[in-house]
Amino acid sequence: MCPVTAHGGEYFAALTAEAEEAVLASLGDRTLADSVGELRRLCTGRDRQS
């Protein structure tokens, strides 16, 4: 049996778990207030360019 066929599901499950951990770690230090502030800054910057 092809190694990809035999172990593809296991490989992609591990890869997905690793990516999920990385995203959660990246977002771990952000608060809702931080995110809203960042969105407001983006809107303000966009308004100035128009």
**Each residue of 6-37: pLDDT tens digit?**
999 999 999 999 999 999 998 888 899 999 99
Give CA torsion, residues 20, 24, 26, 32, to 10 deg: 140
Instruction: Show me where the domains of the chain are located.
Output: 3-49
Give CA torsion, residues 35, 38, 40, 41, to 10 deg: 180
- pLDDT surpassing 60 at residue 50: no
pLDDT value for 28? 86
pLDDT value for 17? 97
pLDDT value for 45? 81
